[in-house]
Chain A
Amino acid sequence: MSVTVLTAEERISHATQLQLTWWRFRKHKVALVSGVIILLFYLVVVLADFLATSDPHATDARRSFIPPQAIHLFDDGKFRPHVYGLKGIRDPRTFRLRYAPDPERKLPIRFLGRGYDYNLLGLIPTNIHLFSVEDAGPVDGIFLLGTDQLGRDLWSRLIVATRISLSIGLAGVGVSLVLGVLLGGISGLYGGTVDTIIQRLIELLRSVPTIPLWMGLAASLPADWSVLQVYFAITLIISLIGWTDLARVVRGRFMALRTEDFILAAELAGASRGRIIFRHMLPSFFSHIIAATSLALPAMIISETSLSFLGLGLRPPAISWGILLQDAQSVQSLALAPWLLCSAVPVIVAILAFNFLGDGLRDAADPYG
């Protein structure tokens, strides 16, 4: 096989739509970085239990409000990562037990060590974690972000919450996407009365204030439902509003495309309706759908977080960003355990990253615009 070196111009003239979009997206550095951050977030989603250091549900009164621990990388000049053990000190004035690092006891960090049991990717039962501390006493362990009042490790909880919050956003967008493309497509393709009905429905849905609507719907969920059932119900409630935006985007694109000359050309050539929709129309705005989706995702995540924060969405023992923030809302936790506020950081980072990524994708989606 001969290797031919293509000139830049040659490369561009043979470039598919996807390549052009990618080349353009690559120039948008902020979006690119955001994309990497999002990928890392979803890596956490996939490997949540593997990255967690202790069981996020396990409570232990003795571990209550342990502050974040520092990791020490070197021991006597040699690379031997470890954390200090904890020493309980009774505060002479408040009689409250406080924990301070005890430099005398060094607990080595084991990579790929053993911890609590879980199913990797939901399939493979294992107890291997990325890192863990072994040979530990009851209050010894690795608490990267400290613990909450019930002695649960915040790092592990945050990791597991990321899985729930990001996947609920994805599932919500998935449902919205199906509804939006279907109804928006029908609306844009057929026009006329059907279009009028769908558009008025969208306006009706959008005119209902979302928080009271969600409150009403969430309150109607039976209290004895399992975490999984509530999860799906919340997804559906959130996407009930979410699809309207996507439907409008899709409708607009279909309407614009319907009058394009290349669509008429295909029709005159004798192409079937299905071929025109799937070969000519959908590919033309596929990239717009991706961009719209990545902009819809943060809205979904925020919706879930605010619902759960208000106590209307997921409920403990489920763990999500909203639930973690709910834990952090009392004055007591702010005064005694300010590290609980870390839960807000991934929310902010993820939402910003999604927005930048969506912006970059939208700009790149139309190389001719």
Chain B
Amino acid sequence: MTLLEVKDLRKYYAIRRGLLQRRVGEVRAVDGVSFQIARGETLSLVGESGCGKTTVSRCIMRALDATSGEIRFAPGDAPPVDLVTLPRSRLRSVRRHMQMIFQDPHASLNPRMTVGDIIAEPLLVNNVGTAADRRDRVLQLLELVKLPRAAYSRFPHAFSGGQRQRVGIARALALDPKLIVADEPVSALDVSVQAQIVNLLLELQDRLGLSYLFVAHDLSVVKHMSDRVAVMYVGRIVEVAPTRRLFSKPRHPYTEALLSAVPKPDPRLRSERIVLQGEVADPADPPPGCAFHPRCPYAVDRCRVEVPELIETGDGHMARCHRVQELTLSGVG
């Protein structure tokens, strides 16, 4: 059953110049993104920095107002609500069911509040239970994220990055949400700590039946986390597929290039790394045709003029490439 369905989501920023702030153009940060997340599923959103993946996650959380499109969210049995048009007054009751985990665990916790107060805040502002109830719930959450009870009265500065991220996770879980939007939750952490947090997230998903939208730029983390992966490039999804298919048989040249950058644990398996030429296209002035064509080693004339559509190639695998049927791209594993 679908928990979240994003349809043709767009977020444009106007570029204004001059004394009169005239609109001289727009940045298409997100330009027609569609995907679904089923209950208990993890969808990863992958792409280079600036490709719009964070904007997508912020639009879903309604931290940003989308320019157009639909975000249908069905946390309960009730019919889905559209988060794009939902009035602000009703937002709070819907937000209980979706929470966010942030990238930088140093910036996402108020340094002036104790860990107990930080985790209890969602409960407090939503008037859940008495003070004693909330305290019990926070201690229970601390246990859930494997932090000692003593953490309750401490301040965030006493914790390491990984521990702080656990605090952030506990806060996100406080209201028992259905959907967790995780915005690069491990990319600010040490590699050794990344695995612990990924395992914790997987375990929590098992125990609580959570759905994740996992935003990342690192494909190696994504492989262990997700059921499906969506690859974004300059505001658009260029490929969506179940994780194993995407890794073994990518259908878009950009995905192939990203995959070639994933470090392989076996030193004998030294494949050619595809180093992309040029810069990421400017979303304020995207190239005509396929946005990826200036950097694509397989580009033909058609790519320079015609914008490709997402083409289904079977088994839920879709790619936005004119040559999807002709090319045989190499994956990993």
* A residues with CB within 8 A of B: 12-17, 20, 260-262, 264-272, 275, 280, 283-284, 367-368
A262 and B110 within 8 A (CB): yes
Residue B248 is within 8 A (CB to CB) of chain A in the complex: no
Least CB distance, B9 to chain A, in whole angstroms:
18
Looking across the interface, which residue of chain B has its beta carbon closest to that of A259?
B107
Q: Which B residues are CB-close (under 8 A) to A269?
A: 95, 99, 121-122, 125-126, 171, 174-175
Asked if A261 and B63 make an inter-chain contact with CB atoms under 8 angstroms apart, the answer reads no
Given A261-B104, A270-B95, A275-B125, decide whether A14 and B154 contact each other with a Cβ distance below 8 A. yes
Contact with A along B41-67 (1 / 0, CB 8 A): 000000000000000000001010000
Check if B12 is an interface residue, CB within 8 A of chain A. no
- Asked if A262 and B107 sit within 8 Å, CB to CB, the answer is yes
Query: CA of A265 to CA of B175 in the docked complex: distance in angstroms?
Result: 13
12 new A-B contacts, CB < 8 A, other than A262-B109, A269-B125, are: A14-B153, A17-B155, A265-B171, A266-B121, A268-B95, A269-B122, A269-B126, A269-B174, A270-B96, A270-B125, A271-B121, A284-B110
With known contacts A265-B100, A271-B121, A16–B107 Cβ distance under 8 A: no
Chain B residues touching A, majority SS: loop
CA distance A284 to B171 in the complex (A): 20
Once bound together, how far apart are the Cα atoms of A60 and B157, in whole Å?
Answer: 65
Residue contact A268 to B108, C-beta cutoff 8 Å: no
Closest to A262 in B: B110
Contacts of B111 in A (CB 8 A): 17, 284, 368
Instruction: Report how far A269 CA is from B101 CA in the complex, Å.
Output: 12
Question: Once bound together, how far apart are the Cα atoms of A290 and B108, in whole Å?
Answer: 25
Given contacts A265-B102, A268-B100, contact A14 B121 (CB under 8 A): no
Shortest distance from the beta carbon of B184 to any chain A beta carbon, whole Å: 11
Q: How many residues of B contact A (CB 8 A)?
A: 29
Which chain A positions have C-beta within 8 A of B14?
none
Which residues of chain B have a CB within 8 Å of any CB of chain A? Answer: 61, 63, 92, 95-96, 99-100, 102-104, 107-112, 121-122, 125-126, 153-155, 157-158, 168, 171, 174-175
The CA of A342 and the CA of B10, in the complex, are separated in Å by: 72
Residues of A contacting B95 with CB < 8 Å? 268-270
Cα of A42 to Cα of B99 in the assembled complex, Å: 51
Top 10 closest pairs, chain A to chain B, by CB: A13-B158, A269-B122, A261-B108, A261-B107, A270-B92, A262-B110, A261-B102, A13-B154, A271-B125, A283-B112
Which chain B residues border A267 with CB–CB below 8 Å?
A: 63
The chain A residue sitting closest to B91, CB to CB, is A270
**Contact: A270 with B104, CB < 8 Å?**
no
A270 near B122 with CB under 8 A, answer: yes
B148 CB, nearest partner CB in chain A, Å: 11
A261 and B110 CA atoms in complex are apart in Å by 9
Q: List 6 A-B contacts (CB under 8 A).
A: A13-B158, A260-B107, A269-B121, A269-B126, A269-B171, A284-B112
